[in-house]
């Protein structure tokens, strides 16, 4: 029985453990223009919730939670992505519970979309002292953003053992992102992994960094404990300098801005990452933007490198290939790199595709054993020549790192016929 309850999706399973007379099906009205030619087409569904008609809110302990408490102690992992329960469910539960009640006393991981929960009231009951990993997607509305600040304040106060945090900013604007970053800095959690995702840049209609110095101040605070850091928010020059404080990074994903790279002159500071094993670099133009960073990166144990470029490569990229190749020859990890992936974001039939001769430097890396070049970018003759001339190099069917940056792209290479 305990195994069956270890992982739970949604809030509805909780409600079903209550006595039948404490449960009620609420009508959830929806108007869907796509279901009918009539713009006012009415579509009704029902969601489960606590019976508000049966319980008087001023009777504090009227709710019988004996079965709920019994099953809740087995639950270790909870995901709430879809609204499968009445929007006020947590609120209705909370008013019948004693102060400090923990609905999930043994939970370890929470994955929550705030728009599926319905409000901040009672949300703190989901937290517990054993929670060590939380993923949260922020709702992009004025009300939803206020819920987010309440949620995060309670989360940091209660989840003192939190070690992994992922925040999906969805379509938040820069100022809202800065508010969240400042809250995290003030809470000073002892995180080992922090992942910040911003969806808008993925879909190509907005690329931005954070104004003021919110990112830079946060990086300084977490630099002593974080081993795994990723951000699709573009790193600006001031924040870039803070990476010089990190010494324990093992995995890093960084979105480089051209402005940040222009600050890395030949006399600029080096970034010492003695423990770094995998690195993902996102840039507008990897051939132009990444060489300065690679030259200043001291990562003597780096094993896996993924280069993700936002814009489709144009013929002008050929002018930067010499410097790009030189950076591979002179970087501190040229002798340890064994897996390389190069991945364009956009699928453009007319984008520049480098010939085999320009891949020679990359292929000459002494420990290179695996390579990912998707067919949407690499020419068929290039892949065929690599397979023939360098059979010891495995041509990967999947990008080893990209799902954190490009979660919406299937990573199986396209066949040439699909580009015609």
pLDDT of 351 over the 50 cut: yes
In DSSP terms, 162 is beta-bridged to none
- Residues 175-198: what's their mean pLDDT? 92
Predicted confidence at residue 220, as pLDDT, reads 94
104 secondary structure, DSSP code: -
Write the pLDDT tens digit of every residue in 152-165. Answer: 999 999 999 999 99
Of the two residues 60 and 89, the one the predictor is more confident about is: 89
Cβ–Cβ under 8 Å, residues 138 and 148: yes
pLDDT band (50, 70, 90) for residue 130: very high
- Helix or strand run (H / E) with residue 178: helix 174-187
Of the two residues 98 and 332, the one the predictor is more confident about is: 332
Beta-sheet strands, E only, within 54-211: 77-80, 109-113, 133-137, 164-168, 193-197
In a domain, 76, yes or no: yes
In a domain, 264, yes or no: no
Of the two residues 314 and 418, the one the predictor is more confident about is: 314
DSSP of 190-239? --SEEEEE-HHHHTTS---B-STTHHHHHHHHHTTT-SEEEEEEEEPHHH
Write the pLDDT tens digit of every residue in 15-48. Answer: 888 888 888 888 875 544 444 455 555 556 778 8
Of the two residues 247 and 58, the one the predictor is more confident about is: 247
In a domain, 296, yes or no: no
Predicted confidence at residue 75, as pLDDT, reads 92
Exposed/middle/buried for residue 132 (C-beta within 10 Å: 0-12, 13-18, 19+): middle
DSSP of 323-351? HHHHHHHHSTTTTT--EEEEEESS--TTS
pLDDT of 54 over the 80 cut: no
Write the pLDDT tens digit of every residue in 232-249. Answer: 888 888 888 888 899 899
Return d(Cα 328, Cα 316) in angstroms, integer.
Answer: 20
Cβ neighbours for 195, distance < 8 A, ≥ 6 positions apart: 165, 166, 167, 228, 229, 230, 231, 404
Q: Structure pTM? A: 0.86
The radius of gyration of the chain's CA atoms, rounded to the nearest angstrom, is: 25
Predicted confidence at residue 406, as pLDDT, reads 43
Compute the CA torsion angle 183, 114, 11, 24 (nearest 10 deg).
120
Return d(Cα 343, Cα 376) in angstroms, integer.
Answer: 9
Residue that is written with structure tokens 């520049």 in the block: 352
Domain count, the chain: 1
Closest CA to 291 of 253, 330, 259, 255: 330
pLDDT of 113 over the 80 cut: yes
Highest mean pLDDT among 80-89, 245-254, 265-274, 352-361 belongs to 245-254
In a domain, 349, yes or no: no
- Residues 384-408: what's their mean pLDDT? 75
pLDDT band (50, 70, 90) for residue 349: low
Predicted confidence at residue 413, as pLDDT, reads 34
Domain with 12, as residue range(s), is 1-162
Q: Positive or negative, the Cα torsion across 269, 236, 312, 381? A: positive
Cβ neighbours for 36, distance < 8 A, ≥ 6 positions apart: none
Least confident stretch, 151-155, 226-230, 342-346: 342-346
Highest mean pLDDT among 68-82, 133-147, 217-231 belongs to 217-231
pLDDT of 267 over the 80 cut: no
Predicted confidence at residue 205, as pLDDT, reads 38
In a domain, 220, yes or no: no
Compute the CA torsion angle 87, 91, 93, 97 (nearest 10 deg).
170
Exposed/middle/buried for residue 60 (C-beta within 10 Å: 0-12, 13-18, 19+): exposed
For the chain, give the mean pLDDT. Answer: 80
In a domain, 77, yes or no: yes
pLDDT of 402 over the 60 cut: no
In a domain, 337, yes or no: no
In a domain, 279, yes or no: no
Cβ–Cβ under 8 Å, residues 262 and 235: no
Bridge-based pairing state of the strands 109-113 and 133-137: parallel
pLDDT of 323 over the 90 cut: no
pLDDT of 145 over the 50 cut: yes
85 secondary structure, DSSP code: B
């Amino acid at each position: 029985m305990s195994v069956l309850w270890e992982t739970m999706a949604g809030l509805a399973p909780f409600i079903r453990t209550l006595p039948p007379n404490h449960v009620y099906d609420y009508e959830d009205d929806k108007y869907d223009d796509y279901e009918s030619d009539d713009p006012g087409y009415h579509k009704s569904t029902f969601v489960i919730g606590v019976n508000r008609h049966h319980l008087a809110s001023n009777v504090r302990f009227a709710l019988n939670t004996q079965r709920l408490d019994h099953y809740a102690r087995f639950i270790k992992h909870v995901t709430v992505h879809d609204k499968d329960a009445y929007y006020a469910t947590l609120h209705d539960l909370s008013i019948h519970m004693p102060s400090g009640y923990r609905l999930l006393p043994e939970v370890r991981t929470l994955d929550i979309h705030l728009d599926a929960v319905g409000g901040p009231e009672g949300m703190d009951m989901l937290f517990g002292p054993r929670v060590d990993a939380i993923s949260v997607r922020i709702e992009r509305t004025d009300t939803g953003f206020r819920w987010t600040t309440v949620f995060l304040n309670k989360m940091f106060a209660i989840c003192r053992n939190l070690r992994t945090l992922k925040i999906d900013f969805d379509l938040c604007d820069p100022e809202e992102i800065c508010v969240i970053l400042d809250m995290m800095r003030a809470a000073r959690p002892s995180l080992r992994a922090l992942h910040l995702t911003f969806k808008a840049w993925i879909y190509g209609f907005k690329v931005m960094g954070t104004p003021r110095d919110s990112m830079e101040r946060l990086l300084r605070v977490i630099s002593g404990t974080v081993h795994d850091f990723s951000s699709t928010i573009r790193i600006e020059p001031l924040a870039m300098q803070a990476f010089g404080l990190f010494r324990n990074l093992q995995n890093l994903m960084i979105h480089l801005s051209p402005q940040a790279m222009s600050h890395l002159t030949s006399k600029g500071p080096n970034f010492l990452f003695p423990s770094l094993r995998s690195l993902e670099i996102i840039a507008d133009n990897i051939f132009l933007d990444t060489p300065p960073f690679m030259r200043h990166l001291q990562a003597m144990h780096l094993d896996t490198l993924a280069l993700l470029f936002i814009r489709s490569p144009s013929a002008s990229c050929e002018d930067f290939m010499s410097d790009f190749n030189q950076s591979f020859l002179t970087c501190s990890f040229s002798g340890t790199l064994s897996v390389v992936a190069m991945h364009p974001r956009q699928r453009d039939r007319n984008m520049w595709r480098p010939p085999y001769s320009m891949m020679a430097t990359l292929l000459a890396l002494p420990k290179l054993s695996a390579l990912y070049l998707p067919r949407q970018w690499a020419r068929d003759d290039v892949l065929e020549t690599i397979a023939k001339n360098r059979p010891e190099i495995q041509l990967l069917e999947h990008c080893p790192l990209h799902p954190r940056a490009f979660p919406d792209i299937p990573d199986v290479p396209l066949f040439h016929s699909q580009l015609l």
